[in-house]
Amino acid sequence: MSRDDRAEAGAVEALPMLRWLRLLVTSLAAVMGLGIIAIVALLWLRLSEAPLPQLPEGFVLPEGATPAALTFARDWIVVVTEGGEVLVFDRQGRLRQTVTP
C-alpha cells in the first residue's frame, strides 16, 4: 500500500483555472488602484477651486446683527442672523427685505 506522490490528475486540470483567477485578482487590484487615483484627483480638483465670492464693499449689517449663515444667489445675498432674522440684500449691498421669525 504505497502512496503515489505524483500530481493528481485533477490538479493538472486546475492550473489553467488558477491562472485565470490570478489574472482576475490582478485586474481587480489595478482597477481599484485607478479608482483611488481618480477619487484623489477629483477631490484635489474640487477642493482647489476659487474661494467663495466676496461681499460687496458697501455691505453693512444692521446694528446688533450677528451673521449665522450667508447665501449667495444670482441677484441677491441672504444673511441669516443668530437671532433667526433673515436679511435679503441686493448685489450692491442694499437691504431689500427683512423677515423676522
User: pLDDT by residue (tens digit) across 48-90?
Assistant: 877 767 777 777 888 888 888 888 888 899 999 998 999 999 8
CB atoms within 10 A of CB 37: 10
pTM here is: 0.48
CA dist 80 and 59 (Å) reads 14
pLDDT-derived band at 12 (thresholds 50, 70, 90) equals low
| Secondary structure (3-state) at 87 | strand
Question: Is residue 54 packed enough to be buried (19+ CB in 10 Å), middle (13-18) or exposed (0-12)?
Answer: exposed
